[in-house]
């Protein structure tokens, strides 16, 4: 019995020890959380620890004011250009022509200055004139007159230049009236109708003519009647803005005759000196379009007579330009020619050929791409340029 009591006591002691061990393990694994610091809040409601300096505001938060409305930006008024004077244009005309047209005259002078003018020489002179686009008729006429002057009248090589200048000048015909008819009568504006095929520089020419007239202190209205080409309308509007000229235009595809009518109407109501009407490029083999061009002219004349019909020709097209000139003259009774690109590869003889074909003068020539590179045609300056 005693042994059993001792065994029970030992078991009890071991159990107590195990309980104590387990209880101690549990306690050591539990971590007491760190005490939270005493805090308070600052004036903005932000927690601040004890001992920390509170955030102080120098002033209470500002009240946001609504922004003032932003004024829309207005585009500055375009600066108007002052076009070049006619006198200045003529001076540059001589310089440009001298640089581009001298080959013809130099070639003829070299042939006429030979000691002996035989048939071979005269054939060479004739060939030189024909390749310069003068045309068969005018070429034969000039050769015959030169033969007479050099053979019958006894002019020698030293007089060749003087003789050639006189005969070329007669061929260009300085007696033709080359003034632009830009003034109307009875208080109505003069009306200039500008025609020609696409690519000849027609719209650009309209803008350049406006600059010439503005330089002469004339009031001008432009009519953008090439309504099937939006680019042409925009281009003309830009030309007008640069010199302060009104441009009458309509939606794309509008009847060209109605735009032309409105342009003349506005010109008359404003008391403008001149109305210039740009037209669509017409191909000579499209009879319907050519009839339409005739309609534009008839509609305009219900308000004011057309005082000038200018045909724009690309001088580099040579004899092909003669076909265009012939057809246009049959439809709208051309009164003057504008030759563009005469400073490039054009051959000066086209001046003579087109005048002979239509019986009307070359009135303006284009000598470059600048805004003022259009000048009145001067017969003497042209012939001098041909002679180099």
Q: Is 115 annotated as a binding residue?
A: no
Q: How far apart are CA 337 and CA 340, in angstroms?
A: 10
Q: Is 282 annotated as a binding residue?
A: yes
Q: Is 39 annotated as a binding residue?
A: no
Q: How far apart are CA 124 and CA 127, in angstroms?
A: 5
Q: How far apart are CA 84 and CA 212, in angstroms?
A: 8
How many Cβ atoms from other residues are within 10 Å of residue 25's Cβ? 9
Residue by residue, DSSP assigns 2-31 as HHHHHHHHHHHHHHHHHHHHHHHHHHHHPP
Q: How far apart are CA 107 and CA 162, in angstroms?
A: 15
Q: Is 200 annotated as a binding residue?
A: yes
Which one, of 207, 254, 262, lies nearest residue 227 by Cα? 254
**Greatest CA separation for the chain:** 181
Q: Is 366 annotated as a binding residue?
A: no
DSSP 345: T
Q: Is 285 annotated as a binding residue?
A: no
Which one, of 179, 178, 238, lies nearest residue 203 by Cα? 238
Distance in angstroms between the alpha carbons of the first and the last residue of the chain:
157
**Residues 6 or more apart in contact with residue 265 via CB below 8 angstroms:** 303
Q: What is the 3-state secondary structure (H, E, C) of 283-297?
A: CCCCHHHHHHHHHHH
Q: Looking at the chain, how many residues does it have?
A: 388
Q: Is 32 annotated as a binding residue?
A: no
Angle at 29 between CA 25 and CA 33, to 5 degrees: 145
Q: Is 340 annotated as a binding residue?
A: yes
- With beta carbons less than 8 A apart as the criterion, state whether 304 and 278 touch: no
Q: Is 320 annotated as a binding residue?
A: no
DSSP 273: S
Q: Is 279 annotated as a binding residue?
A: yes
Q: Is 238 annotated as a binding residue?
A: no
Q: Is 281 annotated as a binding residue?
A: yes
Q: Is 177 annotated as a binding residue?
A: no
Residue by residue, DSSP assigns 72-93 as PP-PPPPPPP-PPPHHHHHHHH
Q: Is 347 annotated as a binding residue?
A: no
Q: Is 79 annotated as a binding residue?
A: no
Integer CA distances (angstroms), 299 to 33, 122, 249, 257, 305, in order: 103, 52, 16, 6, 10
Q: How far apart are CA 125 and CA 143, in angstroms?
A: 8
What residue numbers does the annotated binding site cover?
A: 196-203, 278-282, 340-343
Residues annotated within a binding site for GTP = 196-203, 278-282, 340-343
């Amino acid at each position: 019995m005693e042994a059993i009591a001792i065994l029970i006591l030992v078991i009890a002691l071991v159990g107590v020890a195990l309980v104590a061990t387990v209880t101690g393990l549990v306690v050591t694994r539990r971590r007491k959380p760190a005490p939270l610091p005493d805090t308070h809040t600052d004036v903005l409601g932000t927690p601040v620890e004890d001992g920390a300096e509170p955030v102080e505001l120098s002033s209470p938060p500002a009240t946001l004011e609504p922004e003032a409305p932003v004024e829309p930006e207005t585009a500055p008024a375009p600066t108007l250009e002052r076009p070049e004077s006619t006198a200045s244009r003529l001076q540059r005309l001589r310089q440009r022509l001298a640089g581009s047209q001298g080959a013809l005259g130099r070639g003829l002078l070299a042939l006429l200055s030979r000691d002996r003018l035989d048939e071979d020489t005269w054939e060479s002179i004739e060939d030189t004139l024909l390749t310069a686009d003068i045309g068969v008729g005018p070429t034969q006429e000039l050769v015959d007159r030169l033969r007479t002057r050099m053979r019958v009248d006894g002019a020698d090589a030293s007089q060749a230049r003087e003789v050639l200048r006189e005969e070329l000048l007669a061929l260009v015909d300085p007696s033709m009236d080359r003034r632009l008819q830009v003034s109307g009568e009875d208080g109505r504006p003069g009306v200039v109708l500008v025609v020609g095929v696409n690519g000849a520089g027609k719209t650009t020419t309209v803008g350049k003519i406006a600059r010439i007239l503005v330089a002469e202190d004339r009031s001008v209205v432009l009519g953008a009647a090439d309504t099937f080409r939006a680019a042409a309308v925009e281009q003309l509007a830009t030309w007008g803005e640069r010199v302060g000229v009104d441009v009458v235009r309509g939606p794309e595809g509008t009847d060209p005759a109605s735009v032309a009518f409105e342009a003349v109407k506005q010109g008359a109501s404003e008391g403008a000196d001149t109305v210039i009407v740009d037209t669509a490029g017409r191909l000579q083999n499209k009879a319907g379009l050519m009839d339409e061009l005739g309609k534009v002219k008839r509609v305009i004349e219900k308000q004011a007579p057309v005082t000038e019909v200018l045909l724009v020709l690309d001088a580099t097209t040579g004899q092909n330009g003669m076909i265009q000139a012939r057809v246009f003259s049959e439809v709208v009774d051309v009164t003057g020619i504008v030759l563009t690109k005469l400073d490039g590869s054009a051959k000066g003889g086209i001046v003579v050929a087109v005048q002979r074909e239509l019986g009307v003068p070359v009135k303006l020539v284009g000598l470059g791409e600048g805004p003022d590179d259009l000048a009145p045609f001067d017969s003497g300056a042209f012939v001098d340029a041909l002679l180099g």
